[in-house]
Amino acid sequence: MQLAVFASGGGSNFQAMLDAIDAGRLNASVALCISNKESAGALERARDRGIATLVLDPKDFADSSEYDALLLESLEDHGVTFVALAGYLRQIPSAVVEAYRNRIVNIHPALLPSHGGPGMYGRHVHRAVLERGDRFSGATVHIVDEDYDTGPIVLQDTVPVQEDETAETLAARVLKIEHRLYPAALQLFSEDRVRLVGRRVLIDPIPDSQS
């Protein structure tokens, strides 16, 4: 599996993928790291590993089709077979979603379908969890479709919301879940064990010959 990782920030989930690859828990290679921000820490992580980087901000293109075409061309040129979003704060163009249908995933710092959608990222999500009085939060890995946070759910894990919880403490505990959950989900795709039945994701068992 040849990955492209899209990130807008520091890239701690990107680092979790790299660590999992190094440890033999994720059978994949990262071919390209794409960001909409030149200052994104994820780009530095990629450059430190000799991974190709690309900065493309859709706001810089008057014609969105030009941006879409350049993005698709870059993915193809680097032999990308799968896309992972890691704190990427731009919507993926429909043309890219179509070209990589069911081969783009994202991680969201809440238990979707709750607390998803436009504007729900980072601290905004954790504050919303606390304001609604949820007893549990967590992280969700989902397949990306044309809308925000609406694609089929691949994996989820939970953390209890503590009585003295703040958005910052909840974010830190959810992030630990993310760093474990995301590489595990990517490995399922690498092993070709993910099947879609309608909107339901089924995980096939490991074949006896590999167990």
d(CA 159, CA 129): 12
Q: Are 143 and 152 in contact (CB under 8 A)?
A: yes
Q: Which domain holds residue 62?
A: 1-100
pLDDT 10s digits, 16-75:
999 999 999 999 999 999 999 999 999 999 999 999 999 999 999 988 999 999 999 999
Q: What is the pLDDT of residue 210?
A: 58
Is the domain of 12 the same as that of 45? Answer: yes
- Write out the DSSP string of the chain: -EEEEE-SS--HHHHHHHHHHHTTSS--EEEEEEES-TT-HHHHHHHHTT-EEEE--GGG-SSHHHHHHHHHHHHHHTT--EEEESS--SPPPHHHHHHTTT-EEEEESS-TTTT-STT--THHHHHHHHHHT-SEEEEEEEE--SSTT-SPEEEEEEEEPPTT--HHHHHHHHHHHHHHHHHHHHHHHHTT-EEEETTEEEEPPPPTTT-
- Looking at 68, 100, 132, the residue that finishes a domain is 100
Is the domain of 3 the same as that of 87? Answer: yes
108 is catalytic: yes
Query: For the chain, how big is the Rg over CA atoms in Å?
Result: 17
**Whether pLDDT at 211 is above 70:** no
Q: What is the pLDDT of residue 206?
A: 84
* 27 C-beta neighbours (distance < 10 Å), count: 13
**Whether pLDDT at 209 is above 70:** no
Is the domain of 1 the same as that of 94? Answer: yes
| Averaged pLDDT score across all residues of the chain | 95
pLDDT 10s digits, 112-160:
999 999 999 999 999 999 999 999 999 999 999 999 999 999 999 999 9
Closest CA to 109 of 177, 38, 210: 177
Is the domain of 164 the same as that of 117? Answer: yes
Number of structural domains the chain divides into: 2
The mean pLDDT of 106-110, rounded to a whole number, is 97
pLDDT 10s digits, 152-163:
999 999 999 999
Q: What is the pLDDT of residue 207?
A: 76
Q: Are 111 and 140 in contact (CB under 8 A)?
A: yes
Q: What are phi and psi of 86, to 5 degrees?
A: -130, 80
Is the domain of 89 the same as that of 117? Answer: no
Is the domain of 128 the same as that of 175? Answer: yes
d(CA 110, CA 174): 8
Is the domain of 64 the same as that of 128? Answer: no
pTM of the shown model = 0.94
Question: Which of the residues 78, 108, 142, 179 is marked catalytic?
Answer: 108
Specify the pairing of strand 82-85 against strand 104-108: parallel
d(CA 175, CA 13): 8
CATH number of the structural domain spanning residue 174: 3.40.50.170
Is the domain of 114 the same as that of 95? Answer: no
% of the chain beyond a pLDDT of 90: 94
